[in-house]
Amino acid sequence: MDRYAVIGNPVAHSKSPVIHAAFAAQTGQTLTYAALLAPLDGFAATVAEFRTAGGRGCNVTVPFKLEAFALAARRSPRAQAAGAVNTLMFDAEGIYGDNTDGAGLVRDLTHNLDCPLAGRRVLLLGAGGAARGALLPLLSAGPARLMLANRTVSRAEALAAEFAAAAGNTPLAASGFAELAGAQFDVVINATAASLADQAPPLPPGLYAPGALAYDMMYGRGDTPFLVTARRDGATQLADGLGMLVEQAAESFLLWRGVRPETAPVLAELRRQLGK
């Protein structure tokens, strides 16, 4: 039986085994999927042991995405752009690395939330790994403009400069939070770590255009301070990152098995389990 896993530290909380079991049942695929706890200094050894034991591929979660990038001999363009890998596939040519996070975000926005990005004004908050992983897929969706905003402006500016060529005809700019005053956006995505600390990025009021969507990559915490603030400031639609989690998993499943599962029933069941 083909074996897959998610590797992380911690990893017991991961929803990936439940998600991939549902995908396998739905598509008639015969496989197992486990959660593997790797020592903080033993990621590569854990991957090697799993591969030797017949593993076909694995997802990678914190804090090992940079190590997975280094471990992959071949990488997808989106993994190369992100500088991080969350999906490994083992084949006769060695280890292939992909990053499905940004694609999962875009598919959740456009497919599940019916929020097309083409021609829309998009604000991406943060300049760390989560923002970097989302940038190329977001730019590929053809927004009218994309603004990067971060507490440390220089980090946002450096990220914008790095992706300038990939932006093509899409205006890509960077700023601090306070400098956003007076601007309006159709989609605001929180890729900062603020929600982990039960905080909201210090955004000026008036950012949300009529009908705007506020999206927090965090999930499982109810309305985060970012979403509470967004509702107060006029966001019409609010969403957490649970759909992104399911959609990035579907991207991994497609890479490994060559079939895209239906995500809607899996997402609905996860929301039921979380009481949302």
Domains of the chain, each with CATH number or no CATH = 2-99+243-273 (3.40.50.10860), 102-240 (3.40.50.720)
pTM metric for this prediction: 0.96
Q: Given the residues 7, 23, 50, 65, select the one marked as catalytic.
A: 65
pLDDT tens string 204-240 = 999 999 999 999 999 876 789 999 999 999 999 999 9
pLDDT tens string 107-128 = 999 999 999 999 999 999 999 9
User: Is a pLDDT exceeding 70 seen at residue 42?
Assistant: yes
User: What pLDDT is recorded for position 197?
Assistant: 85
150 known ligand binder: yes
154 known ligand binder: yes
Query: Do 209 and 186 touch, CB atoms closer than 8 A?
Result: yes
16 known ligand binder: yes
168 known ligand binder: no
Q: How far is CA 242 from CA 54, 209, 229, in A?
A: 30, 24, 19
User: What pLDDT is recorded for position 276?
Assistant: 54
Q: Is 65 among the residues known to form the active site?
A: yes
Average pLDDT over residues 150-156: 97
Strands 121-125 and 185-190: parallel
Average pLDDT over residues 90-94: 95
Average pLDDT over residues 91-105: 97
